[in-house]
Chain A
Amino acid sequence: EPEVTQTPSHQVTQMGQEVILRCVPISNHLYFYWYRQILGQKVEFLVSFYNNEISEKSEIFDDQFSVERPDGSNFTLKIRSTKLEDSAMYFCASTRTSGSDEQFFGPGTRLTVL
């Protein structure tokens, strides 16, 4: 059964460094999402992406964040200059259609900013 994959599973970085989190959505899916979950808190929406552009973003998704689909398979989240408060679990998700469809989640990348 196809699955969303994410790499790396754990990323440790120094404050101020750039990180790129990678996701490979399910191949025939068209809508892509990033969520994050700070330890002990709820899963929060960051951004959604369709047809090579951002369709919606949250207040969290400020100028230090960007997303890209550089080829037909990868979907990346870049954090330009990481802060301590960016430490969280980052989940990628995808869904096939614009109907009320299930979002399929990746296993997550745990980002630790020191």
Chain B
Amino acid sequence: AQRVTQPEKLLSVFKGAPVELKCNYSYSGSPELFWYVQYSRQRLQLLLRHISRESIKGFTADLNKGETSFHLKKPFAQEEDSAMYYCALSGPQGAQKLVFGQGTRLTINP
């Protein structure tokens, strides 16, 4: 079964502190993993994907196949990072459905 688990519904950290949003997945095969973000009153948008191995807005995420995890990290949180974050997976073929986690609402306190 394809499943994405984000164990924290809410996460609150202070500005300048490190942030880690957890994501674990279940998939028989090699999925593509993504983090999508939804800022207040904006649409869902892609933050980063594991195949790109890039850092976007200071965020990184490493795919750990042994632990089936794809945690999102940022060393120094900024207030503008406050948003809803969704971890998602799709099949390896591309252009396939996204399976989303529950989402984590991240709040950065000043």
Contact = CB atoms under 8 A, between A and B. Distances in A.
B51 interface: yes
Given A42-B100, A42-B101, A102-B49, A50 B95 contact: yes
A107 B57 CA distance: 22
Given A105-B45, A107-B43, A95 B95 contact: yes
Contacts of B103: 42-43
Interface in B39-60: 43-46, 49, 51
Nearest to B38: A105
Contacts, number: 58
Interface residues of A, number: 29
Nearest to B99: A45
A101 B86 CA distance: 17
B97 A33 contact: yes
B81 interface: no
A45 B97 contact: yes
A107 B41 CA distance: 9
Contact of B95 (A44, A99, A107): A99
A11 interface: no
A108 interface: yes
B17 interface: no
Interface in B8-50: 32, 43-46, 49
13 contacts: A33-B98, A42-B100, A43-B44, A43-B86, A50-B95, A93-B98, A97-B95, A98-B94, A99-B95, A102-B46, A105-B45, A106-B43, A108-B43
